[in-house]
Amino acid sequence: MENGEIMQKRNLGKSGLEVSALGLGCMGMSYGYGPASDKAEMIALIRKAVERGVTFFDTAEAYGPHANEELVGEALAPVRNQVVIATKFGIGLDANYKQVLDSRPETIRRSLEGSLRRLRTDVIDLYYQHRVDPEAPIEDVAGTVAELIAEGKVRHFGLSEAGLATVRRAHAVCPVTAIQSEYSMMWRQPEEELLPALEELGIGFVPFSPLGKGFLTGRFDKNSTFGSSDFRSIVPRFTPANLDANQALVHLVRKMAADKNATPAQVALAWVLAQKPWIAPIPGTTKMRRLEENLGAADVELSAGELRGLGEALDRIEISGERYPVELAKNVGK
């Protein structure tokens, strides 16, 4: 996308929620990928994204915790009516920073009031349950969000990393606008059951980590190391042996990038965008040049033949290493 061009828009399923084809995942600005970045620089980056046509921004109560919502709220306050803000409830952190799931109705309401305050807004455009809470019936969760929609405090309901049976049960109580889950050339499991079901139900899909947590950019090899505040330091996929084993995927993306006069990141994002018209990925970054590079993916068109060739090549590549450590893997797909 050239400077001055307005990015194409997409509808998340049949909900009527329109967002920029590429959103911006804001988590890494405050949390998860090393020390928090400079606040003034991150506000400038978010505002540059708005200038470049991005209208879809993703955060969560648990990121920071609270710090990321405050950052996003401050950055977007001047343009609040031009953008879609997504945030999430349902994950607390205990004294040891372990995830604690809590989606009781009273907790959801308390979380919402905090998010509204931090985001400097009177309505959340898209409110996700961050992880399914096995102790809180999904019908109660969906019912609570339906009440919040009726009260005008929330516009749309979403679920993050939920299993298909849960999605169907929730959708029957309160229409689900979007499912957020990991999806990339490196993690294609959603293609098996989730994407066909979302198409059937008219629900949009918001892939996080569309660049494989940075792996698909080609930046990492067996010598790469990650600090203790970087989530990747505990992810099996990022051990030296698995980083080495998965280089075949990097070679594939690099070759296509060279053929297309694009970067590996742009090819990886263009591939996600090409899968379905109701998919809006949310790559994250803390660097202005990476933001520009990622937005350039909207200009990379992969032909039907190129997509078929990539699909066949991806089918032949075995990805090594799980995407979550065991403790966190327990909370997904419920």
Distance CA(310)–CA(302), nearest Å, equals 10
In a domain, 290, yes or no: yes
Percentage with pLDDT > 70 across the chain: 98
Q: Give me the pLDDT at residue 4, please.
A: 46
In a domain, 93, yes or no: yes
Residue 2 pLDDT > 80: no
In a domain, 313, yes or no: no
Distance CA(177)–CA(313), nearest Å, equals 32
Structure-token pair, residue 184: 């990339």
- Give CA angle at 272 (10, 265), nearest 5°: 115
In a domain, 234, yes or no: no
In a domain, 327, yes or no: no
Distance CA(180)–CA(250), nearest Å, equals 25
Residue 332 pLDDT > 80: yes
Q: What is the mean pLDDT of residues 191-198?
A: 97
Kindly report the average pLDDT of the chain as a whole number: 95
Residue 49 pLDDT > 70: yes
Distance CA(121)–CA(221), nearest Å, equals 42
Q: Give me the pLDDT at residue 330, please.
A: 87
Q: Tell me the CATH number at 38.
A: 3.20.20.100
Question: Residue 93: which residues within 8 A CB-CB, separation 6 or more?
Answer: 62, 65, 99, 100
In a domain, 238, yes or no: no
Q: Give me the pLDDT at residue 94, please.
A: 76
Q: Give me the pLDDT at residue 322, please.
A: 93
> Which tens digits make up the pLDDT trace of 92-147?
877 776 789 999 999 999 999 999 999 999 999 999 999 999 999 999 999 999 99
Domain containing residue 90: 9-211+274-300
> Which tens digits make up the pLDDT trace of 58-87?
999 999 999 999 999 999 999 999 999 999
**DSSP 3-state assignment of 154?**
strand
Q: Give me the pLDDT at residue 329, please.
A: 86
Q: What is the mean pLDDT of residues 172-185?
A: 98
Catalytic residue among 63, 127, 128, 183: 63
In a domain, 128, yes or no: yes
Percentage with pLDDT > 90 across the chain: 90
Phi and psi at residue 155, in whole multiples of 5°? Answer: -100, -40
List Cα–Cα distances, 108 to 4, 86, 94, 144, 220, in angstroms.
40, 15, 17, 8, 39
Residue 5 pLDDT > 60: no
Tell me how crowded residue 322 is: count the other CB atoms within 10 A of its CB: 13
Residue 1 pLDDT > 60: no
> Which tens digits make up the pLDDT trace of 275-301?
999 999 999 999 999 999 999 999 999
Domain count, the chain: 1
In a domain, 156, yes or no: yes
Has 63 been annotated as catalytic? yes
> Which tens digits make up the pLDDT trace of 208-252?
999 999 999 999 999 999 998 899 999 999 999 999 999 999 999
Q: What is the mean pLDDT of residues 14-43?
A: 95
Q: Give me the pLDDT at residue 171, please.
A: 98
Instruction: Return the exposure string of 151-190: e unless at least 16 CB atoms fall within 10 Å of the residue's CB, then b.
Output: eebbbbbbbbbbbeebbebbbebbbbbbbbbbbbbbbeeb
